[in-house]
A = this chain, B = another copy of it.
Amino acid sequence: MVMKDLTIGKLAKRAGVTIDTVRFYERCGLVAEPERTASNYRIYSATEVARLQFIKKAKSLGFSLNEIKDLLILRHTSEATKAEVKSRVEGKIRAVKAKIIDLSHILEDLEKLNQSCSGHGSADDCPILEALDNGEAKEHVCH
């Protein structure tokens, strides 16, 4: 039997999020609907602190709330395998790498643009603005 003695405010404080965020996560299904006191206050056990920290950590690694929801389900599904978890992480690794490559191309283009311009004089004949006028827009879109 776990002690349920945390109000939403205490839970939020311990996990380092706001009360609004906890309720928002509840609406999204990231945090289960908790029991209520007689006066309808939500009460939580300390395990919910861990769950919120899990969410925070995963978010900081670039997982979206939907992806985190999947991870949380895996975490509590006894048939889940390490392979499934690992493949989520590997998918995210691929996505992050793709994003980095994409940004690197953008960076290259920006640096070329920047080098084309002396930075002196009126913008009337600014090579940067001219380049923006002419070139075909490359698509650097992440799918």
Of chain B, the residue at the smallest CB distance from A92 is B110
CB contacts (< 8 Å) of A93 on chain B: these are 107, 110-111, 114
Chain B residues within an 8 Å CB radius of A83: 119-120
A138→B56 CA distance, assembly (Å): 9
CA distance A129 to B131 in the complex (A): 48
* Chain A interface size, under 10 / 10 to 19 / 20 to 34 / 35 or more: 35 or more
Q: How far is the CA of A84 from the CA of B132 in the complex (A)?
A: 15
Given known pairs A121-B81, A122-B78, A123-B82, the reply for A103 and B109 (CB within 8 Å) is no
Judge whether A61 and B103 touch: CB under 8 Å.
no
Q: Is A100 a contact partner of B110 (Cβ separation < 8 A)?
A: no
Q: Which of A5-13, A20-28, A38-46, A69-77 contacts B (4 or more CB under 8 A)?
A: A69-77
Number of copies: 2
Write the nearest CB–CB distance from A103 to chain B, whole angstroms: 5
For the complex, is A126 an interface residue (Cβ under 8 Å from B)?
yes
Set of chain B residues within 8 Å of A117, measured between Cβ atoms: 82, 85-86, 89
Q: Could you say which residues of chain B place their CB within 8 Å of the CB of A90?
A: 114
Complex contact A82–B119 (CB within 8 A): yes
A99–B107 CA distance with the chains assembled, in angstroms: 11
Q: Which residues of B contact A31 (CB under 8 A)?
A: none
State whether A89 and B114 are in contact (beta carbons under 8 Å apart), knowing that A71-B129, A123-B81, A124-B78 are contacts in the complex.
yes
